[in-house]
Amino acid sequence: MVKKCVRIADKIVGDGYPCFIIAEIGINHNGSVDLAKKMIDIAVTTGCDAVKFQKRTVDVVYTKEELAKERTSVFGNTNGDLKRGLEFGEDEYKEIDNYCKQHGILWFASCWDEQSVDFMEQFDIPCYKIASASLTDDALLKHTKSKGKPILLSTGMSTMEEIRHAVSILGEDNLIIYHCTSTYPSNADEMNLRVIETFKKEFSCPIGYSGHERGVTPSVLAVALGANSVERHITTDRTNWGSDQAASLEMAGLYHMVRDIRQTPTLLGDGVKVVYKRELPIIDKLRRVKG
């Protein structure tokens, strides 16, 4: 099977190319552009390729009943107060767009409804992400595909049948499929990283990994198993309030993950057994019988 590559702005995602690393800010900004900028700085400093946000039209994504539920937060006493407080609007995203351009990092978003996709078009973002929760939303898949940009598809809480159906709508051109487990944070027995190999055998597009685990080991192992892209939530402080903070990486963890991912192709090598030049003096020193 010929494996396709996907171009996202000036980056190429696919076998033989550097891993495309996404730092997901998501809603960890807690409604603060200043906090979002601090996380963009972390992503830039650690060498990530892109940052990602989440965009929802609150009254479309959630029912009136869900929004009316009691939920105390800094924004008010209902779930609706919280959801609206976490949403950035046009002014905030213009500021984010300018900040990312100034710092030379790509940005895009997971759009949870068609209006959010249309909203993001004004910023000419380089790609769209389909969240795991939206994988079965055929109308959203079709609307997102209509924009003609690369699509990144997360597969948490989805069966192979559901994934195949989504791929049949999106097509494998300009698509990256991400293995994902939608628990926050995920346990070791929920990782199932060999699904990456399963996806690589079945689909001809690049395969990625979207992780919610503690630490960085599964994300690095995912690249060793063939993942062409890795996405991880980031934060300035995992003790911040918010549902995604505990499954996020602070700056030190993100630095180590990016470093280890970048080293992985060199560590794996080409599989050809050789004697390295630096081993030759060791042969003279330690080997009693020379070959």
Burial of residue 202 (CB within 10 Å: 0-12, 13-18, 19+) is middle
Q: Are strands 11-13 and 207-211 parallel, antiparallel or unpaired?
A: unpaired
Alpha helix stretches (DSSP H) within the chain? 33-46, 58-61, 64-68, 79-85, 90-103, 114-121, 138-145, 160-170, 195-202, 217-224, 251-268, 280-286
Full pLDDT tens readout for the chain, 291 residues: 667 999 999 999 999 999 999 999 999 999 999 999 999 999 999 999 999 999 999 999 999 999 999 999 989 999 999 999 999 999 999 999 999 999 999 999 999 999 999 999 999 999 999 999 999 999 999 999 999 999 999 999 999 999 999 999 999 999 999 999 999 899 999 999 999 999 999 999 999 999 999 999 999 999 999 999 999 999 998 888 777 888 899 999 999 999 999 999 999 999 999 999 999 999 999 999 987
d(CA 203, CA 3): 8
Residue 245: name the closest of 34, 83, 39 by CA: 39
DSSP state of 177: E
Confirm if 11 and 60 have CB atoms less than 8 A apart.
no
